Amino acid sequence: MRHYGQLGAEERQALFHREPADFDLDSEVRTLGVALGATLYSPATRPRLVADIRKQTARGVVSMVLCLEDSISDAEVAGGEANLVRQLRRLHRESLPAELPLLFVRVRRPDQITDLTDRLGPAVRLLAGFVLPKFTAAGGYDYLEAVVEAEARCGRRLLAMPVLESPELMHLETRAARLTDAARLLEKYRERVPALRIGVTDFCSVYGLRRTPDMTVYDVHPVASVIADVVNVFGRADGTGYTISGPVWEYFRTQPRMFQPQLRASPFRGRGDLRERLIEHDMDGLLQEIELDRANGLQGKTCIHPSHVAAVHALSVVSHEEYCDAVDILGAGPNGGGVLRSSYTNKMNEVKPHRSWAARTLLRSEVFGVAKEGVDYVDLLEAGIR
């Protein structure tokens, strides 16, 4: 699988200086964490789950979470499990793993991991792994060991994606200790953790908050402070860090607006209809939040609606300017230093401080590609939503 694989070869060649590379279930964990991109959540109770997965694959989705937790009621769990097993068995009969997105199952309890693995039988080969909710050091060990046991039972690698969303991570008096404890636990399982996810809806609920479509999560300061601390502990560029996924954007239909749209008109010159459609569906707020995610050390995003996927992927492609800067910085060598004028002659590149940024940028360029000079996010977004 690869990003923008839904486009024809000619269209990809017109958009990319370097096309996105292939990846699969056996790729390195670090690569998969970046490659997740827009991870689309779907309730495991959906009766047409097989058709939904195929439809979203054709639209460019490369990672999905089939959810047995907060997206369904307590009374639906047993039926959701049965539906999930039935649908994945059918999908296994009719498809190859290479034809599908990276599929994860979000569970409620550790015992569901081994139980579902057993019930899926050979169909478990379609799964990338499991999403672990309300993750803390206190309860996380049982989840992680359940993944290890499930892997031993099925004979293939299974990954774990913890979700940081518990109240003790929100509360100031317990946050630092709980984040440190969780980091210490996860270090032992590093090679099976492609990414950490942040449950900002749960964090908001601790204080009865909810952002409007005119605001990003970074305008909600109590939650933004948690994101900053999560990045501080888990997002370091010294080899100890993980990919941290951006939080969910929960709006997908027209909402009453209080403030001016966030999208400038100039990038959409000649394509004003696209800009109007994005604003009409509150996508300008999503685009702004994606940019702020990147600026704050997050990569990709949790998505609850297919319309969000193209926006996340368009802003994940490495621009030609970013790529040139990263190549120049790393080209100075590990013992290099000093300041370089950028290839675009519009900024300084300080070799030593910018080296970790450059390394991350080139990793992102491998899975999302590098845009051609003159191709911007509007071109990529337009291609992604057709």
Binding-site residues: 202
3-state helix, strand and coil shares in percent for the chain, rounded to the nearest 5: 55, 15, 35
The size of the chain, in residues, is 386
Report whether 132 contacts 162 (CB < 8 A): yes
Structure tokens at 117: 């693995």
Measured at the CA of 300, the angle between CA 343 and CA 162, to 5 degrees, comes to 135
Binding-site positions for Mg(2+): 202
Report whether 62 contacts 99 (CB < 8 A): no
Report whether 32 contacts 102 (CB < 8 A): yes
Residue 139 one-letter amino acid: G
| Nearest partner of 71 among 115, 128, 131, judged by Cα | 131
How do beta strands 348-350 and 339-341 pair? antiparallel
The alpha carbon dihedral of 136, 133, 288, 14 has a sign of: positive
What CA–CA distance (Å, rounded) separates 341 from 324? Answer: 11
